[in-house]
Each structure stands twice: as C-alpha cells, then as structure tokens.
C-alpha cells in the first residue's frame, strides 16, 4: 500500500544526522519535526526567522504568535533562536543549511525540481524555495509518485517552471525512496506491499533497478 503523509515524514526523518541544520518546507516536510530520532540533535529552521523548531504544539502549548513559514503554529525547541527574515535568508544563502526537505509538483531524472507554480493557477508567490535549493548542501523531495489522475511526477524533463536545476539528491514518495544521479532515478527502497513493477509503471523518467529492492522499515 502507498504510504500515508505521516509515514513519508517518518522515512525522511531517518535521513537526519546529528548536528544537522535542517529547513522543512510547507506540507509533508513540516511533519518531519514530529519524528526526529531521540538519539540525535538537529536544529530545524524556518525561513521566517526561527531556528530550533519543535514538534507541533498540543492545545496546552499552543502560541498563536509562534508560526512557521506556512503560518502553522509550532513550538520552539530548547536552545531555539528567533530572528528576522533577512538574517534567516543570510543563513540559507550563506550555505549554512545542511539539508532542505521540500515538496514538489515534478522532479526529473537530472535532479531538476518544479515546485512553485502551475501556469494559469493562482499562486501566492515563489516563497523561499529558490534560495533553499541554491543554498542548501542537500535536497530531499517529498511527493506523491503520481498525480490524482495517475500521471507520473518523476519525469524525463520537468514541464512546469523550474525552482532549481540539478539540485535534488533524493526523493521519498508514497511508493518509494529514490536517489537521483547520473541522469537517472535509482530505486533504493519500496513502500511495504508495493511492487517494483508498480513503481516502474508510475515513473516516466529513466529508472534503474539494481537487484533486490528492500521494503522501507519504520
């Protein structure tokens, strides 16, 4: 079966390493804050000016003035710092973010990402994604493998306006974990109960499968 949003976030959380500074984008990426492993310490950054995000608040912890870049209420972890947006983007543009987790409309086999607009649809703006994909040391994308109409989101070439070029290193979808390198998607893991054949059928770009593909473990 395809993974839930929470399971995708749980799998992404396994990519975190002790001491990382991590930016979490809007949508599924924000859920990663709830699944940071207990044996590591990471600092989660929000581009609106918070370094040290904690998990989503309970009713008792809720503070309407404490929000992330998606205007969701969040908590501050021990040692958190609050600063203005200009300083936040100086941190991003200065290359001080180890990992960015972003959602996307499309990713192609060369690591290009389209995440900020669909032509002829109303958008709020490009947000901070273009700075993040240019400034972060590593980019992981979370997304559904295919659209609600069944069209693949993993393409030979993106059809939508690009957010960044040759920047995506890894993708966690509701069906699989894939690495992007050498002009192809490399299948690393599959969701429990999902066959390799299903993943192949829903991947429009070049997909390489090397031997047995293990199921994800949570």
Catalytic residue IDs: 47
Nearest to 193 by CA among 212, 178, 177, 215: 215
Instruction: Find the mean pLDDT for residues 57-82.
Output: 90
> Distance between CA atoms of 98 and 199, rounded to whole angstroms?
29
Interacting residues of 146 by C-beta distance below 8 A, sequence separation 6+: 152, 153, 202
Mean pLDDT of 4-21: 97
pLDDT at 179 over 80: yes
Render pLDDT for 153-176 as a digit per residue (tens, 0 to 9).
999 999 999 999 999 999 999 999
Q: Is the pLDDT of residue 42 over 80?
A: yes
Whole-model pTM: value is 0.93
Instruction: State the Cα–Cα distance between residues 181 and 188, nearest whole angstrom.
Output: 12
Query: How are strands ordered across the β-sheet holding 76-82?
Result: 76-82, 50-53, 43-46, 21-24, 99-103, 139-143, 170-173, 176-181, 184-190, 207-208
């Amino acid at each position: 079966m395809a993974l839930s949003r929470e399971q995708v976030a749980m799998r992404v959380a396994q990519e975190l390493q002790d001491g990382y500074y991590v930016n979490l984008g809007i949508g599924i990426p924000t859920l990663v804050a709830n699944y940071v492993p207990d044996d590591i310490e990471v600092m989660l950054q929000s581009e609106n000016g918070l370094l040290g995000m904690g998990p989503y608040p309970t009713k008792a912890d809720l503070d309407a003035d404490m929000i992330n870049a998606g205007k969701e209420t969040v908590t501050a972890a021990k040692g958190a710092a609050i600063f203005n947006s200009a300083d936040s983007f100086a941190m991003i543009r200065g290359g001080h973010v180890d990992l960015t987790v972003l959602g996307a409309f499309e990713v192609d086999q060369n690591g290009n990402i389209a995440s900020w607009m669909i032509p002829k649809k109303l958008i709020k703006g490009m947000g901070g994604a273009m700075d993040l994909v240019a400034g972060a040391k590593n980019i992981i994308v979370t997304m559904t493998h295919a659209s609600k109409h069944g069209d693949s989101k993993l393409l030979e070439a993106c059809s939508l306006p690009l957010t960044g070029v040759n920047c995506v290193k890894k993708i966690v979808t509701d069906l699989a974990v894939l690495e992007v390198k050498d002009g192809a998607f490399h299948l690393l893991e599959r969701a429990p109960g999902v066959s390799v054949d299903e993943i192949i059928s829903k991947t429009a770009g070049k997909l390489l499968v090397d031997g047995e593909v293990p199921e994800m473990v949570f």
